[in-house]
Structure 1
């Protein structure tokens, strides 16, 4: 049908009326399309929210929220360090299994030093001083034992260094687990760990040297000494024989008995010293020092993120904001 064949009434419709009809047609089309568009936006919102759940929650954009977030992750870090120091948490390797292994090496090394002393006759010949026959020089016994004990210093420090490295690795693993997305905070934490550990290592080493100084005094309770002497010699010495227990034929056994006491003391004392200062006290000092970060902290700097994860999270958050706004606008027309 040509335009000339149209009814006269239609030919007289003004442009305004035609636009009105087109507008009504457009509105009708939109009303039919909007629900479908709304469903598409809802699906995209669902997908974006699910993707965001896979990303770790990042710091809020506002200062107050960011500071609360910083406090939260610092507390979580401290909780993990405390749990680690108590043996209640395993990161990659069990810390206390590793420590026991090192302490066993120390104990095995001590047992290897329990070689027999010279025979009593050799001791009398090799270490006799200016005393007359039949007399004993107690200073000689002290020197023999002190020399044997002093040789334990080097392996003791080696044990300290090995255990320090184990604990440092565990603390480092916790730091990366908690702060891997925040390089400034991670670097700050690692500096604190290094400083505290260096200080604690020097302190522990001094305590170990103090322990060796005490061991050089050559002392134990009489009943304890007699118990070991009886076990080693196979005889029965009692406190009733004191203080004149001076049997030259038993000098070698007497030295062995006392050294056995030293070994048992050091087998426990060194692990206790190292565990206390390098693990327990270090963990406590670190937790306290971490909270000091909050004093005058540049929160935005500490929580600066430089990772693909943070970039993806920000992109998803931007998409979520746009889709949410579009969904709200669309609801006004449905």
Structure 2
């Protein structure tokens, strides 16, 4: 593969460390957490995909009929100096096997696929990593995916076609993946599923490179179609096409080695009347493909590293938050358990205290509990004002109707106190249901907020959370009933017409003054007795509104916030004394598993941070 040495030394010094950064992230298992830049090799069955990979890697890979690639195979090729011996490393799950002979690769991969995908011809999403260090390979990492099949055969699962397509799509739909689509040159490329799948997730062809194989099988007269395809004139791709000729089955049977196969490939294109131009343009042969892929991967990694760093930072932050939320786990020592429980309750009660005092810490877009409650109180005030200040025509009609139907023997101009009281009583009754709705709305806010606090503090301790929520419901319902009783009592009292004389007189003066200046709604009243009654009604209703605007929120706040939270805090302390700490601190069965997963993920992400920091010098 002497053509690959055409990469200048400076470029080679940059390429290997850059590819190593991504390979190290993949080896850490970061494929689970981040979308890593990659070249994924896809193709229909019998497209020549395995032959291309063999030619690039210099080793024989599983081949034959049916599905030969049953797991994603990460093929890491590392170019070594001439004096270094060939070295291979095969990894899957927790297994790592050293390979000292290229001939051992095929059976090692087959065995690993059997372990991961089982007996038969099923597939697995678990990866096998094959690292090859040799002086005859390019610096390159590829991911080989199972060949696309249309119909299940033999003992293949009935939905094997869907399984394979789902696996392929999982890789190629990522913006960080370049799709290397392998297509035989002797068929209509528009009919190949591999190219259709790539087009589905990459409609502009920005991330797709086409590879034509088997040019020696092209029928006479069809060469121009192949030329037009490679020249990007049939199905255009931004990255275009290349064409290669690998070993055929007969040549493999005749034990033609890869080095000799490349010589024959070069000779084929040199002598071909139609395809010779591709060799001159660097679009043909395995060595030119190797160089092209190394360049593509290097540039792609450099392009995606900033976004990768951003992904990593976000994932690291979220994982740390999730892990903190689960806590360190319950201590095993009984004495330590008690201390742990007391600390948990104290922290919970401290947050409740801050809620009660409207001092809790919140981050946008969250809002303090009391800010939500204050909003409800302001709405209540608006409801009262809207009822107290009626439009002129409505008030005139109501007053005239009351005076007409309720007037007794009194002469015109004499105020009917009974009429006054009737209107006041009706107004008060209209406000009782809105006041009770205010109580319910505030109760819902408090219930939801405290429930949220419990979920944050005790989310890993379901027994403790359940016990706390039982207290929430019991105490909240208890205070709700007391608050409802006090509100109803308040409205009964409001039906008694009373105000301090000076307060009433002052309010009456204000209303009359506004009317005289034309600012009030009463200036145009014609009948003097109606106008006088209106003055007095509006004055008293304003006093009542002010009283209810303050008193109802005070009742609600006292019972549903102050009293309720104080009782809840006390009951939480009682609960720690009267219950077995071991019972309260039982974790859900999956919490420990989740905690361990997050710890492993955090470890991977921190390792990725170190690896990415090293990449800065590469760029």
1:284 aligns with 2:566: yes
Q: What's the counterpart of residue 327 of structure 2? A: 56
TM-score (norm 1): 0.70
The equivalences for 1:137-286 within 5 A come to 137-234=416-513, 248=529, 250-286=532-568
Could you tell me how far apart the structure 2 residues matched to 1:161 and 1:136 are? 40
Deviation for aligned residue 1:143: 1.7
Cα distance in structure 1, aligned partners of 2:401 and 2:595: 79
Q: Structure 1 residues 299 and 123, CA, compared in 2 at 3 Å: closer, same or farther? A: same
Contact 1:181–1:307 (CA under 8 A) maintained in structure 2: no
Q: CA deviation at 1:153?
A: 0.6
Greater fraction strand:
2
Q: TM-score, normalised by structure 2?
A: 0.39
Shift of 1:93: 2.7
For the 8 Å contact 2:403–2:419, the answer to whether it is kept is no
SS at match of 1:203: helix
Instruction: List gaps (5 residues or longer) in structure 2.
Output: 1-319, 516-527, 600-619
Matching of residue 105 in structure 1 with residue 379 in structure 2: yes
Task: Return the alpha-carbon distance in structure 2 between the equivalents of residues 174 and 121 of structure 1.
Answer: 56
Is the alpha carbon distance of 1:262 and 1:75 closer, same or farther for their aligned partners in structure 2, counting shifts above 3 Å? same
Write 1 or 2 for the structure with the bigger share of helix: 1
Q: Give the aligned partner of residue 77 of structure 1.
A: 348
Q: Secondary structure at the match of 2:330?
A: coil
What CA distance in whole angstroms lies between the structure 2 residues aligned with 1:257 and 1:86?
35
- Residue 118, structure 1, aligned to residue 400, structure 2: no
Counterpart secondary structure, 2:396: coil
Deviation by residue 1:298-328 (Cα, 9 ceiling, x = unmatched): 11110001154424668999xxxxxxxxxxx
Q: Mind listing any 5+ residue stretches in structure 1 that lack a counterpart?
A: 1-50, 237-246, 318-334
Q: What do the CA deviations read for 1:222-265 (whole angstroms, capped 9, x no partner)?
A: 111011111111299xxxxxxxxxx9451111011000101111
Separation in 2 of the partners of 1:159 and 1:121?
33
Distance in structure 2 (CA, Å) of the matches to 1:176 and 1:313:
16
Question: Is the 1:95–1:170 contact (alpha carbons within 8 Å) kept by the matching residues of 2?
Answer: yes
| More deviation, 139-148/87-96 | 87-96
Match of 2:360 among 89, 97, 100: 89
Q: Name the CA distance, whole Å, in 2 between partners of 1:121 and 1:186.
A: 61
Cα distance, 1:235–1:222 mapped onto 2, change above 3 Å: farther
User: Contact 2:415–2:533 (CA<8 Å) still a contact in 1?
Assistant: no
In 1: Cα distance, 2:461 partner to 2:493 partner:
47
- Pairwise CA distance, 1:140: 2.6
The alignment partner of 1:201 has SS state of helix
**1:127 to partner: Cα distance:** 2.1
1:184/1:302 contact within 8 Å kept:
yes
- Is the CA contact 2:402–2:419 (under 8 Å) kept in the aligned structure 1? no
Q: 1:184 to 1:235 in 2, by over 3 A?
A: closer
User: 1:121 offset after TM fit, Å?
Assistant: 5.4
Of the structure 1 ranges 126-135 and 289-298, higher mean CA displacement relative to structure 2 is found in 126-135
**Greater RCO, 1 or 2 (C-alpha within 8 Å, sep 6+):** 1
Alignment: residue pair count: 256
Change in Cα spacing, 1:188 to 1:130, as seen in structure 2 (3 Å) is farther
How far apart in 2 are the matches of 1:165 and 1:178? Answer: 20
CA change 1:121–1:82 in 2 (3 A) is same
Q: CA RMSD in A?
A: 2.7
C-alpha separation in 1, matches of 2:514 and 2:460: 68
Residues 167-197 of structure 1 deviation map (CA, whole Å, 9 limit, x = unaligned) = 1111011111111010011001001001111
Alignment of 1:310-329 (within 5 A): 310-311=592-593
In the other structure, the counterpart of 1:331 is: none
